[in-house]
Amino acid sequence: MNVRMILAGSMLLGVLASGGSVDRPLVAAVPASPESALFDAALVAKGAELAAVGNCRSCHTQPGGAPFAGGLPLATPFGTIHSTNITPDPDTGIGRWTGEDFLRAMHDGVDRAGRHLYPAFPYDHFTRVTALDVAAIYAFIMTREPVRAEIPANRLRFPAGFRPAIAVWKALYFEPGVYRPDPTKSAAWNRGAYLVDGLAHCGACHTPRNALGAENKRQDLGGGEVERWHASSLIETSPAPVPWSADALYDYLRRGHEQRHGIAAGPMAPVVHNLSGAAEDDVRAIAVYIASRMQRPESAPAGAADAVVAAAKEREAGAGSGATSGNAASAVDGATVFAGACAACHGAGPTSRSPAPVALGLTTSLNAPDPRNAIHITLEGLWPEPGEKGALMPGFAAELTDGQVIALVDYLRARFTDRPAWTDVPQRVSEVRQGMQSEP
């Protein structure tokens, strides 16, 4: 009996065991065009929660497009690829895929026709998702509205455009396997580790990649990049001035902000938006596991976090006070820009009307090893999706010249953190500006 048969068998058993009524044949008998009615409602609901953890919707949906209908262009160092339509449309989606086809894509990175899939689809993580969980996700996906949507052709540079090249990549970097629980750890920790390394694929952004685009496992979750944003380290090198606790992480992942760390922005914003639909216990488990990975060897003395918070608030109170006053002309000076553009929300002085929810000195973006996130937020602001709750900050791309942005970002780093000045601010400002212009 080969592995695939074992998997398929265990998947079917899992589906049955999870509450599917026994008299209905489920995954194994999926016809060419599966009918929604074949899937048990509880299994579909579980799949919805898991798909939220997997953040499937973010990549497989275009802005303003039908959910899961794909077509989102993903810029990679090797060219642009488009996410696929994973609605159950038989011709342009995955409507003809059986549960086994779907499992094989998740576990082995091949499509229904047996072609290798680009690892932008993170099967290097999904390979660790149990067949039971994959079956639930399959049930959820197959009961979505089918959408007929052709996907534009990928534009990749040689040899990445040549699919057999992916076989070489897989031979080098792809390790199929299952999650092995650590019996010395709690059930929540193990569930968290299983989700983080598998379905949630946190490392896809938070682990640095090598020249061939594979995650560097020796720096697992040590900080990476995505869409010209810096993805923070989720291990003991985390730049957060107040160490993250599991409770703080849970709040952040569930609500999108946490008052001692910051607000989910950029590519992390849709992740937390999706996680609001995940099972509460799963989000807690992720928080427990990540908090343990971030734990530093030395334990901080009691009250250290409160002292950091108090110091950050004190710095905010006098911010902008070094500003050029009187009638001195328009010297580009970060403190002056701050006093005029930022202090209304981020200062505690007389001009402040509405304190921002997070003290600047506590934010991960200002304490990060590179300035990109701070520049993104300065230029673009924070905008919740239309109709969604969330922090709102106007961007200053129109107001401030590059020179003024550079001066402001340098000032923010010096004024609100104890960390060394960033050395690459001018180059990063022009990169972020270029990115904003190239986006629609």
Residues forming the site for another protein (CB under 8 A): 64, 320, 323-331, 333, 336-337, 339-341, 344-345, 353-354, 383, 386, 392-394, 396-401, 404
What's the min distance (Å) between Cβ of 144 and another protein?
23
Distance CA 157, CA 116 (A): 17
What's the min distance (Å) between Cβ of 64 and another protein?
7
What's the min distance (Å) between Cβ of 426 and another protein?
17
What's the min distance (Å) between Cβ of 263 and another protein?
15
Say how many CA atoms lie within 13 Å of 23 toward its Cβ: 0
- Which is nearer to another protein, 232 or 404 (by Cβ)? 404
What's the min distance (Å) between Cβ of 329 and another protein?
7
Distance CA 201, CA 209 (A): 14
What's the min distance (Å) between Cβ of 431 and another protein?
20
According to DSSP, the residues that pair with 289 across neighbouring strands are none
- Phi/psi of residue 142, nearest 5 degrees: -70, -10
- Phi/psi of residue 394, nearest 5 degrees: -70, 145
- Which is nearer to another protein, 176 or 394 (by Cβ)? 394
What's the min distance (Å) between Cβ of 342 and another protein?
8
- Which is nearer to another protein, 84 or 378 (by Cβ)? 378
What's the min distance (Å) between Cβ of 333 and another protein?
8
Q: Which residue has the tokens 């989000």?
A: 283
Distance CA 368, CA 229 (A): 11
Which amino acid is residue 215, in one-letter code? E
What's the min distance (Å) between Cβ of 340 and another protein?
2
- Which is nearer to another protein, 156 or 393 (by Cβ)? 393
- Which is nearer to another protein, 301 or 326 (by Cβ)? 326
Distance CA 136, CA 193 (A): 19
Which amino acid is residue 198, in one-letter code? G
| DSSP helix, strand, coil percent of the chain (3-state; round to 5) | 45, 5, 50
Strand 73-76 and strand 79-82: pairing?
antiparallel
Q: Which residue has the tokens 């976090």?
A: 305
Distance CA 48, CA 31 (A): 22
- Which is nearer to another protein, 224 or 320 (by Cβ)? 320
- Which is nearer to another protein, 62 or 92 (by Cβ)? 62
Contacts of 369 (CB under 8 A, 6+ apart): 223, 230, 239
The SS3 of residue 55 is coil
H helix runs in 41-197, sequence order: 41-54, 56-59, 99-108, 123-126, 131-142, 164-173, 187-197
- Which is nearer to another protein, 156 or 345 (by Cβ)? 345
Nearest to 365 by CA among 375, 380, 354: 375
- Which is nearer to another protein, 21 or 354 (by Cβ)? 354
